Amino acid sequence: MPEHFPVNGGERVFAERRREMVRELRRKGIGNERVLDAMERVERHRFVDAESAPYAYEDSAYPIGHGQTISQPYTVAYMTTLLLERCSPPGKVLEIGTGSGYQAAVLDALGFMVYSVERIPALHVRAVRLFQDLGIAVSCRLGDGSLGWEEEAPFDGIVVTAAAPHCPEQLLRQLAPGGCLVIPVGEQGMQQMTVYRRSEGGFEKELFHHFAFVPLIGREGWN
Ligand code: SAH
């Protein structure tokens, strides 16, 4: 091997790109140090297809097969910040839409106990294997996440990474007291990031920026 091509040189390049990604997230307004630190540690290039790996640290979404995408780093940072500002590790967090597994890995890196549901079998199996290979302790389930994960409820936080036509009732019911749900709600193609927090009297709702997610498909999602 030539001298200028050291073993693990690729990993060093990826680490530098991760730092650049974090600088870009900062420029775009992400200021939560714990979120930025977690995203500097999680190796996003492991969660994308081989063709996308060289670009894994650009602030873009990429196809992961089956018509689905890995979320853009900015979107992951944004949702994770909304969660972390309202709920501290080591709480129990449920993610709906495992997809590539990247968002779940970021939540794990923050110290949450992470549960994740995916409806597409091939994506579920691939994420389970990847978590095993990387030694990441995320509990995964195959099924319709619009109904939550009843057996593991209540959750301190729930993050939905697919677009919902309305807020699924079951997810609200599975929140612990003080727990919060972060979910993009709206039409296909454009949704508003929405946070519900369980308080003594009921639920408080807050609205944030607009995003475009792939649809949440299921009983409490799109058909
Ligand atoms: N969090 C993922 C984002 C993947 S895109 C990541 O970091 O890569 C959204 C995912 O939600 C897709 O994989 C899609 O199959 C899944 N999904 C859509 N509807 C779902 C449902 N009802 N239950 C579980 N997963 C669902």
pTM of the predicted model, to two decimals?
0.96
Task: Let me know if residue 105 belongs to a domain.
Answer: yes
Task: Let me know if residue 83 belongs to a domain.
Answer: yes
Task: Let me know if residue 42 belongs to a domain.
Answer: no
Residue 49 pLDDT > 50: yes
Q: Please give the pLDDT value at position 7.
A: 53
**Ligand 1 pocket, 120 CB below 6 A?**
yes
71 is catalytic: yes
Question: Which tens digit of pLDDT belongs to each residue from 169-193?
Answer: 999 999 999 999 999 999 999 999 9
Q: Please give the pLDDT value at position 9.
A: 74
Distance 98 CA to ligand 1 centre (A): 5
Task: Let me know if residue 119 belongs to a domain.
Answer: yes
Residue 1 pLDDT > 60: no
Q: Please give the pLDDT value at position 3.
A: 44
Residue 70: is it exposed, middle or buried by C-beta count within 10 angstroms (0-12/13-18/19+)? buried
145 is written with which tokens?
């996440």
Distance 216 CA to ligand 1 centre (A): 7
- Can you give the residue range of the structural domain that contains 148? 60-211
Residue 4 pLDDT > 80: no
**Ligand 1 pocket, 168 CB below 6 A?**
no
177 Cα distance to chain centroid: 22
Contact predicate 115/93, CB 8 Å = yes
- The number of folded domains in the chain is 1
Strands 62-65 and 175-187: unpaired
Question: Which tens digit of pLDDT belongs to each residue from 79-113?
Answer: 999 999 999 999 999 999 999 999 999 999 999 99
**Ligand 1 pocket, 179 CB below 6 A?**
no
Question: Which tens digit of pLDDT belongs to each residue from 113-164?
Answer: 999 999 999 999 999 999 999 999 999 999 999 999 999 999 999 999 999 9
Q: Please give the pLDDT value at position 2.
A: 47
Task: Let me know if residue 156 belongs to a domain.
Answer: yes
Q: Please give the pLDDT value at position 8.
A: 67
Q: Ligand 1, from 171, 216, 219: best to mutate by most atoms within 8 Å of Cβ?
A: 216
Distance 26 CA to ligand 1 centre (A): 26
Catalytic pick among 52, 60, 71, 116: 71
Q: How many CB atoms lie within 10 A of CB 202?
A: 10
